[in-house]
């Protein structure tokens, strides 16, 4: 371990700012783009012709961002080094007809997105944020960052069995938040309210992608503040680290031997099958256009992809002190132990032995320790964008991430060192 880390505790402080400012995938990619702009990157439109000149560029599409930096003298067949991540998190999302209510309460109709720990959304002060689509074809981000909604839990006096049988929630009946009082529930009330919040004319919003979020800010936790509690670490922790790493490599002076890329996709939590998901064509299209813009041919594209490696960076499970039997007995990743290498022989993760060696070398160059995660044989294993990226594009892929607790909760938990350790490892990987 020869190099000193490039990022320190200040990176974790900045992560807290990023999490608080990114309640939705649309806000997350906007914030990532703003940081890249400050590092000299510029946005390119997919509908424009691209050039192959040196420098940083990025494409925004919905809740996804693909950013890359072309070094001086890069050949058309120069391989890519990709950090892959996702911008979405499980939550409660607003339905097309949101205005509802009963028994004197005004409520908002919501649908379950992904696989949230539903009990974690009860009795929390919730804000509302997302993307508004306007009559003129434009979009506007909106964020009501204050206690606006709440899903109240039933009092124990009315359900004594909860102590013995556990909490049982009906996804349709028990998770509709309240946001006011009144019996006159009219269609359009919520959207009219959001038009006012966003300073838009009445009737200008014709479409919306809205979601709830817990407004409690990220916070350091514990006697020595060794832990960080906050929302959407799965997987904005990786989006933030990838953005910081790409900006650092672009500004580092020494030209990398690869073209470094950040690919942050939407809809991972629901299978990635969308035009902004990892199972869509976005990444492959951007990489291929980059090759062609530098005068490359199909042969150059094939050579570039053959030498490309992707680190699929997503959060993973730290060993839980109250449920250690749920983990593999010989693999107990700990918070603040460095990033984890995820392995599954059934290809739920894309890591193989050569990928392990590649990641180990990057961590050694960065002076960063790493750990290994494998599922208990008796437990089903989750998956990531890693196998999707490998299969769709024929790109060698390695699955990694930071170890957290309470994954898919409205509020998750990680170690304060792990975010900057991950970012340091990503810098070493992107530099090659």
The pLDDT tens digits for 207-248 are: 999 999 999 999 999 999 999 999 999 999 999 999 999 999
Whole-angstrom distance, CA of residue 117 vs CA of residue 196 = 32
Quick check: 3 pLDDT over 60? no
Packing angle of the helix pair 418-431, 353-366 (nearest 10 deg): 110
C-beta of residue 191 within 8 angstroms of C-beta of residue 102: no
Quick check: 1 pLDDT over 70? no
Q: 106 or 432: which carries more pLDDT confidence?
A: 106
Q: Give residue 4's pLDDT band: very low, low, confident or very high (50, 70, 90).
A: very low
> What is the pLDDT at residue 237?
98
Quick check: 2 pLDDT over 70? no
CA 160 to chain centroid, in Å, comes to: 38
> What is the pLDDT at residue 154?
93
In b/e form, how buried is each residue of 183-211, taking b as 16+ CB within 10 angstroms? eeeeeebbbbbbbeebebeeebbeebbbb
Of 212-216, 250-254, 313-317, 413-417, the one with minimum mean pLDDT is: 250-254
> What is the pLDDT at residue 392?
96
Percentage, residues of the chain above pLDDT 90: 92
Among 338, 274, 204, smallest CA distance to 63 is for 274
- Which residues make beta-bridge pairs with 264? 65, 85
Whole-angstrom distance, CA of residue 383 vs CA of residue 348 = 5
Cis status of the peptide bond prior to 395, with omega within 30 of 0: no
Among 48, 50, 67, 49, smallest CA distance to 58 is for 67
**Residue located via tokens 């961002």:** 65
Whole-angstrom distance, CA of residue 414 vs CA of residue 418 = 7
CA 327 to chain centroid, in Å, comes to: 24
Q: What distance, in Å, lies between the first and last C-alpha atoms of the chain?
A: 15
> What is the pLDDT at residue 6?
80
Q: Give the Cβ contact number of residue 305 at 10 Å.
A: 19
H or E segment and range at residue 59: strand 55-61
Residue length of the chain = 432
Among 236, 287, 233, 246, smallest CA distance to 83 is for 246
Whole-angstrom distance, CA of residue 280 vs CA of residue 274 = 6
> What is the pLDDT at residue 424?
97
- Which H, E and C letters describe 161-214, residue by residue? CHHHHCCCCCCCCCCCCEEEECCCCCCCHHHHHHHHHCCCCCCCEEEEEEEEEE
**Residue located via tokens 């509690």:** 229
**What is the model's pTM?**
0.96
> What is the pLDDT at residue 430?
96
Per-residue pLDDT, averaged over 139-157, amounts to 96
The pLDDT tens digits for 179-192 are 999 987 878 899 99
C-beta of residue 336 within 8 angstroms of C-beta of residue 362: no
Of 166-170, 249-253, 338-342, the one with minimum mean pLDDT is: 249-253
Quick check: 85 pLDDT over 90? yes
C-beta of residue 27 within 8 angstroms of C-beta of residue 269: no
Highest mean pLDDT out of 4-8, 100-104, 157-161: 100-104
From residue 99, give the alpha-carbon distance in Å to each of 106, 107, 112, 194, 308.
8, 6, 16, 13, 48
Whole-angstrom distance, CA of residue 39 vs CA of residue 46 = 21
> What is the pLDDT at residue 254?
63
User: What is the SS3 assignment for 322?
Assistant: coil
Among 277, 266, 428, smallest CA distance to 359 is for 428
């Amino acid at each position: 371990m020869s190099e000193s880390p490039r990022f320190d505790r200040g990176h974790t402080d900045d992560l807290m700012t990023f999490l608080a400012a990114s309640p939705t995938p649309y806000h997350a990619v906007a914030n990532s783009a703003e940081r890249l702009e400050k590092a000299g990157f510029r946005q390119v439109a997919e509908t424009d012709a691209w050039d192959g000149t040196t420098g940083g560029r990025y494409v925004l599409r919905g809740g996804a961002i693909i950013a890359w930096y072309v070094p001086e003298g890069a050949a058309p067949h120069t391989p890519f080094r990709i950090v892959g991540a996702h911008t979405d998190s499980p939550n409660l999302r607003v339905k097309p007809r949101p205005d509802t209510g009963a028994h004197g309460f005004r409520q908002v109709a919501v649908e379950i997105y992904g696989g949230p720990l539903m009990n974690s959304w009860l009795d929390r002060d919730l804000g509302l944020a997302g993307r508004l689509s306007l009559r003129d074809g434009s979009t506007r981000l909106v964020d009501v960052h204050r206690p606006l909604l709440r899903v109240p839990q039933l009092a124990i006096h009315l359900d004594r069995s909860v102590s013995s049988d556990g909490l049982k929630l009906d996804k349709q009946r028990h998770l509709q938040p309240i946001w006011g009082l009144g019996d006159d529930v009219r269609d359009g009330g919520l959207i009219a309210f959001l038009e006012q919040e966003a300073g838009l004319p009445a009737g200008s919003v014709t479409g919306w992608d809205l979601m709830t979020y817990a407004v409690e800010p990220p916070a350091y936790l514990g006697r020595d503040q060794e832990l960080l509690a906050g929302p959407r670490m799965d997987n904005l922790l990786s989006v933030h680290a990838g953005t910081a790493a790409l900006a650092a490599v672009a500004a580092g002076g020494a030209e990398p031997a690869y073209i470094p890329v950040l690919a942050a996709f939407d809809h991972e939590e629901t299978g990635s099958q969308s035009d902004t998901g990892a199972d869509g064509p976005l990444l492959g299209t951007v990489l291929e256009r980059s090759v062609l813009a530098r005068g490359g041919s199909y042969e150059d594209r094939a050579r570039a992809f053959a030498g490309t490696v992707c680190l699929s960076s997503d959060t993973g499970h730290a060993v839980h002190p109250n449920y250690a039997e749920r983990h593999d007995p010989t693999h107990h990743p700990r918070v603040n132990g460095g990033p984890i290498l995820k392995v599954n022989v059934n290809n739920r993760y894309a890591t193989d032995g050569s990928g392990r060696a590649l990641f180990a070398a990057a961590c050694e160059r960065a002076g960063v320790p790493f750990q290994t995660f494998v599922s208990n044989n008796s437990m089903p294993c989750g998956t990531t964008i890693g196998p999707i990226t490998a299969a769709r594009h024929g790109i060698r892929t390695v699955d990694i991430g930071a170890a957290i607790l309470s994954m898919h909760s409205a509020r998750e938990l990680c170690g304060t060192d792990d975010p900057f350790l991950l970012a340091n490892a990503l810098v070493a990987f992107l530099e090659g």
